[in-house]
Structure 1
Amino acid sequence: MILDRTKQTLILDGKRYSREEIYALHRELGSGASPVRDLFVFLADWFDESPTLDVHTSGSTGVPKVLTVRKEQMMQSARLTCEYLHLNAGDTALLCMPLQYIAGKMVVVRALVAGLNLILRTPSGHPLADVDFPLRFAAMIPLQVYNTLQVPEERERLCQTDVLIIGGGAIDKELEKEIARLPGEVYSTYGMTETLSHIALRRLNGTEASSHYHPFSTVRLSLSPEETLVIEAPLVCDGTLVTNDVAKIYEDGSFTIFGRRDNIINSGGIKIQIERIEEILRPLFPAFLAVTSVPDLKLGEAMVLLIEGTTAMEHIEEIVATSLSRYERPRYVRMVDAVPLTGSGKVDRAACRLLAKELVYTNNMK
């Protein structure tokens, strides 16, 4: 592993670029948006004299934040992942996610630290559409994996990928069943911008498949009084990080996540975890959906189901009634053209709440 930035080079599509060549290409590319330019803008920032750089949170639960992080910590995160997944110099690594977020940045840092051969593609819902050779490593969000599995040619390319990590959103049970059939190693990641990508992995297929996340050996976990996960990861973040993720920790140090504490709806005194309701409903509908809430004078909060498409309301209500208990059922159902997502592909919880409030109070007929 190369943890000295002055000695790092980038291998892009099989060609090696020195630090000086990266600076020159950065100047030549000029202005204008493109994946190549975004890559070299990031690399120019990476190789400058500053020991830190700014990263943006996804904004999935509120206003996006800018965090200043140390490059040394990013390299340590990259080292932990590459060592855990046995990624070595010359291995091909696909970059198919936006570089403005930590997930995309960390793919590049892993390539720099481990000497991986970076394969660059424009971020899209079909990242393997024009990748016609096997990959050693790829990182995707759940929607990219789902889309890829729907196209036979792309599915075959995913089958030729040795190691796949999936982050940035929940993986529903039906998608997990499809993933379990893939021959390569597939992992769900747990982490956030503050931990510089993931600090734990959960195997989704093979004999090592598990419902638990397993943290890296240098990570220490505990629970807050509110039963949210508390993280101590000195290699990748300073201090102790108290998360909003409601969790359970097991004797062997592994853990499960039930959802975010700020995604708990208190409706008439009944506490409902949004993610659990979504997990139950998503396999039952062909359309994408999200659960949110609106203020309610009687209940405090009322649950709202946002669902894409034009499914008949009677059909939706029938499925909901047979799948959820009386106290878990949405008070309102609203059809939408698209469920709001962040730039990194997560459900935009704040935007969902605003949209639901507009739809419910504009037309308060269920």
Structure 2
Amino acid sequence: MSHVIIGPHLITFDQIRIGQWPEMAQYFKNSLKFCQDWLNGQESFSINTSGSTGKPKTIQVSRKQMILSAEATRRFFQIQNGDRLLCCLHTDLVAGKMMLVRSMVWNCPIHIETPNSKPLKEFPSCFPLDFVAMVPYQVENTLLDPNSLKAFKNIKNLIIGGAPISATLQKKISQWPVNLYQTYGMTETVSHIALAKINGDGNLVYKSLPGVSISTTETHQLVIKAPMASQDTLTTNDLAEMVSENEFIWKGRADFTVNSGGIKIQPELLESKIQGAMSQFFPDSRYFFGGLPHDLFGEQLVLVIEMKNQDHMPSVDFSDSLKSSLDKFENPKKIHFIENFAETQSGKINRKETLDKLYQSINTGKMP
């Protein structure tokens, strides 16, 4: 029987089953309550979706789905009983919940940390961790902290999800002796259903997990058939290029496509192209491409940058750098600065809400 470690407390699965744990912060209580429900055989759990296949909603996920997901990941990484896990993702969302499920299904000890930008900061530099999941900003901040970086090198398997990883970050982390993968998945598939090896060359090819079938529609939207999914067949809003019957390259979101004068532009592809320019001129700013309504072209391509200093204007050098990185029709017609981007519940940029706020501010003459 394995256990959960929270700060100085080691709590066995038997203790969790009967609700025997010390007083602690509410976040940890909620995490342990989920584990208690699981260990006592609860068959269904409510989880909020992020909107990958439509509007965000709450769905019911079965115990069987979660077990199938955990077992597919175990086979992919060849996890052994007793391997050490770290949960540093929010356990209210599917990614964090699945880390807890993996611990219980795999019979592995798990450390639970409050989600923060440097989850390895308090770990001893020599402490081994066999399986960890993070989001990109946690990895970025881990590399900036010397203590965290020492612990990072002792991770055996790291999966990174929640948002696409930048080519710059890929190059940074690929030099370390860690088995690194970018994930593809959603709440409806109960976490990831495909993984892409990160090797630093910028080319991410996703391979589906055992038991998962993938294909694309005529409009290149990814279709998933997986035993752990909430539906027999899921047609996603993600655009993909099939490489083989079980491998694909992610191209971006169909609902983010900008149609300007009949030319369809995929923002995520442009965002990867200008990473170098953004790192040079706006290293601490988030950004994205999007479309704003235009009388003549239907939509106009714009670049939106999150910036506290509203008086800052892009330099000629920055504009020249964009032009050298992008094709003729990929250059933004305008660059807009916004103090704060709207976000989803899971912390991702809410592009639609941010663009709506920007468009409204342009019409009213007030800065967003």
Q: TM-score, normalised by structure 2?
A: 0.88
Q: Secondary structure at the match of 1:313?
A: coil
Task: Find the counterpart in structure 2 of residue 275 from structure 1.
Answer: 268
Offset at residue 11 of structure 1 (A): 3.5
Task: Find the counterpart in structure 1 of residue 63 from structure 2.
Answer: 71
Offset at residue 150 of structure 1 (A): 1.7
Q: After superposition, give the CA deviation of every residue in 1:218-239 in whole Å (9 maximum; x if it has no partner).
A: 1111111211111111244431
Task: Find the counterpart in structure 1 of residue 289 from structure 2.
Answer: 291
Task: Find the counterpart in structure 1 of residue 335 from structure 2.
Answer: 333
Give the stretch that moved more between structures: 305-314 or 171-180: 305-314
Question: Are 2:219 and 1:226 equivalent residues in the alignment?
Answer: yes
Which of 223, 239, 250 lines up with 1:246 in the alignment?
239
Q: Secondary structure at the match of 2:45?
A: strand
Give yes or no for contact 2:196–2:206 (8 Å, CA) kept in 1: yes
Q: After superposition, give the CA deviation of every residue in 1:14-36 in whole Å (9 maximum; x if it has no partner).
A: 8352356444247x759xx6331
Which of 163, 169, 172 lines up with 2:166 in the alignment?
172
Give yes or no for contact 2:305–2:337 (8 Å, CA) kept in 1: yes
Task: Find the counterpart in structure 2 of residue 358 from structure 1.
Answer: 360
Question: Are 2:35 and 1:43 equivalent residues in the alignment?
Answer: yes
Distance verdict in 2 for CA 1:50–1:152, change over 3 Å: closer
Which of 78, 93, 109 lines up with 2:101 in the alignment?
109
Task: Find the counterpart in structure 1 of residue 325 from structure 2.
Answer: 323
Q: Secondary structure at the match of 1:249?
A: strand
State how far apart, in whole Å, the 1-side matches of 2:245 and 2:51 are: 33
Give yes or no for contact 1:143–1:345 (8 Å, CA) kept in 2: no
Task: Find the counterpart in structure 2 of residue 4 from structure 1.
Answer: none
Offset at residue 273 of structure 1 (A): 0.2
Give yes or no for contact 1:60–1:348 (8 Å, CA) kept in 2: no
Give the stretch that moved more between structures: 225-234 or 36-45: 36-45
Give the stretch that moved more between structures: 271-280 or 11-20: 11-20
State how far apart, in whole Å, the 1-side matches of 2:105 and 2:229 are: 15
Task: Find the counterpart in structure 1 of residue 313 from structure 2.
Answer: 312
Distance verdict in 2 for CA 1:360–1:277, change over 3 Å: farther
Task: Find the counterpart in structure 2 of residue 5 from structure 1.
Answer: none
Question: Are 2:152 and 1:155 equivalent residues in the alignment?
Answer: no
State how far apart, in whole Å, the 1-side matches of 2:100 and 2:41 are: 18
Offset at residue 63 of structure 1 (A): 4.7
Task: Find the counterpart in structure 1 of residue 139 from structure 2.
Answer: 145
State how far apart, in whole Å, the 2-side matches of 1:323 and 1:359 are: 29
Give the stretch that moved more between structures: 300-309 or 75-84: 300-309
State how far apart, in whole Å, the 1-side matches of 2:139 and 2:55 are: 27
Give the stretch that moved more between structures: 49-58 or 134-143: 49-58
Give yes or no for contact 1:292–1:352 (8 Å, CA) kept in 2: no
Q: After superposition, give the CA deviation of every residue in 1:259-280 in whole Å (9 maximum; x if it has no partner).
A: 1111100011110001011111
Residue 295 of structure 1 aligns with an amino acid whose one-letter code is: P
Distance verdict in 2 for CA 1:156–1:18, change over 3 Å: closer
Q: Once the two structures are aligned, what percentage of the paired residues are identical?
A: 33
Give yes or no for contact 2:160–2:183 (8 Å, CA) kept in 1: yes
Offset at residue 351 of structure 1 (A): 2.4
State how far apart, in whole Å, the 1-side matches of 2:204 and 2:55 are: 31
Residue 130 of structure 2 aligns with an amino acid whose one-letter code is: R
Which of 259, 266, 278 lines up with 1:266 in the alignment?
259
Offset at residue 103 of structure 1 (A): 0.4
How many matched pairs?
354
Give the stretch that moved more between structures: 102-111 or 295-304: 295-304
State how far apart, in whole Å, the 2-side matches of 1:334 and 1:82 are: 45
Question: Are 2:113 and 1:121 equivalent residues in the alignment?
Answer: yes
Distance verdict in 2 for CA 1:351–1:22, change over 3 Å: farther
Offset at residue 9 of structure 1 (A): 5.8
Aligned residue runs from structure 1 range 184-263, under 5 A:
184-205=178-199, 211-251=204-244, 253-263=246-256
Residue 143 of structure 1 aligns with an amino acid whose one-letter code is: Y
Task: Find the counterpart in structure 1 of residue 346 from structure 2.
Answer: 344
State how far apart, in whole Å, the 1-side matches of 2:89 and 2:234 are: 26
Distance verdict in 2 for CA 1:234–1:98, change over 3 Å: same
Bigger RCO of structures 1 and 2 (CA < 8 A, at least 6 apart)? 1
Q: Secondary structure at the match of 1:302?
A: strand
Over 6 Å off, 4+ runs: none
State how far apart, in whole Å, the 1-side matches of 2:80 and 2:296 are: 59
Aligned residue runs from structure 1 range 21-100, under 5 A:
21-25=16-20, 34-48=26-40, 50-59=42-51, 63-100=55-92
Distance verdict in 2 for CA 1:149–1:355, change over 3 Å: farther
